[in-house]
């Protein structure tokens, strides 16, 4: 198996964590987003969206979109499970994941921030306000969904990591890059710290990737 990704991409980070938790170690090719590797025809034939990650299976099948890749991994490599068995609990885990995957990350990712700067030419203050506004709104919702819920445990849902943690950790990493204070989100902070003690999360961290740049 082969995966195309970029050290700082949240979606690549998610997939790396899942690979690690499942005990998989696919080959890796770096797609340098700031240098524009994602626009090369040799890559867009796999990923017409010009995004990372892309996974190519041993059979040559091409998978894109991190939520779809994670569900595929769970279906084809079920152990250890990253979703609970009960449908209602699965829905909770997926909902927590999608708060990040649909409502925070897409609005604060590189291409949107670039548009704000280059096309709308927002000021530095407006830029920071934008970033912090969407993270704060999303984290407030996420913290509300975690706080006092009987299934919230060492991780977002229970005592083993799930999709929810796989989405949470890269988003917190991003927030820390922009120095967002985590004090208003004690559950998010606690769960992030718990996750980072696990080798699969640490190994997937951007700083530990072969294409890392400070």
Q: Which parts of this chain interact with a copy of itself (CB under 8 A)? A: 44, 48-51, 57, 61, 63-69, 71-72, 75-76, 87-88, 90-92, 94-95, 97-99, 101-103, 105-107, 112, 115, 119-120, 122, 126, 129-130, 133, 138, 140-141, 143-145
The full DSSP string for 126-174 is: HHHHHHHHHHHHHHHHHHHHHTT-TT--SSSSTTS--HHHHHHHHHHHH
> In whole angstroms, how close is the CB of 51 to a copy of itself at the nearest point?
8
**Of 21 and 70, which CB lies nearer to a copy of itself in the complex structure?**
70
- Rounded to the nearest 10 degrees, the angle between the axes of helix 87-103 and helix 66-76 is 150
> In whole angstroms, how close is the CB of 199 to a copy of itself at the nearest point?
27
**Of 57 and 208, which CB lies nearer to a copy of itself in the complex structure?**
57
Q: Which two tokens stand for residue 22?
A: 């499942």
> In whole angstroms, how close is the CB of 133 to a copy of itself at the nearest point?
7
CB 90 within 8 A of CB 84: yes
Q: Spell out the residues 6+ positions from residue 166 whose beta carbon is closer than 8 angstroms to its own.
A: 14, 17, 18, 21, 70, 82, 97
> In whole angstroms, how close is the CB of 91 to a copy of itself at the nearest point?
4
**Of 66 and 194, which CB lies nearer to a copy of itself in the complex structure?**
66
């Amino acid at each position: 198996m082969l995966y195309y990704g970029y050290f700082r991409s949240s979606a690549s980070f998610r997939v790396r964590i899942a690979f690690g938790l499942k005990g998989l170690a696919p080959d890796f090719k770096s797609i340098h987003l700031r240098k524009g590797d994602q626009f090369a025809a040799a890559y867009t034939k796999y990923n017409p969206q010009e995004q990372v990650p892309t996974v190519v299976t041993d059979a040559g099948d091409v998978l894109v979109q991190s939520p779809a890749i994670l569900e595929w991994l769970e279906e084809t490599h079920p152990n250890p499970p990253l979703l609970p068995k009960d449908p209602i609990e699965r829905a909770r885990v997926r909902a927590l994941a999608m708060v990040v995957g649909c409502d925070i990350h897409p609005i604060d990712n590189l291409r949107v921030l670039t548009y704000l700067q280059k096309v709308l030419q927002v000021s530095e203050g407006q830029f920071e306000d934008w970033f912090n506004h969407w993270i704060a709104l999303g984290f407030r919702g996420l913290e509300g969904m975690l706080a006092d819920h009987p299934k919230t445990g060492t991780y977002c849902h229970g005592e083993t990591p799930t999709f929810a943690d796989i989405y949470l950790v890269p988003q917190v990493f991003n927030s820390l890059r922009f120095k967002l204070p985590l004090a208003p989100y004690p559950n998010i902070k606690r769960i992030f710290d718990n996750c980072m003690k696990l080798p699969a999360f640490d190994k997937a961290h951007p700083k530990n990737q072969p294409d890392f740049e400070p």
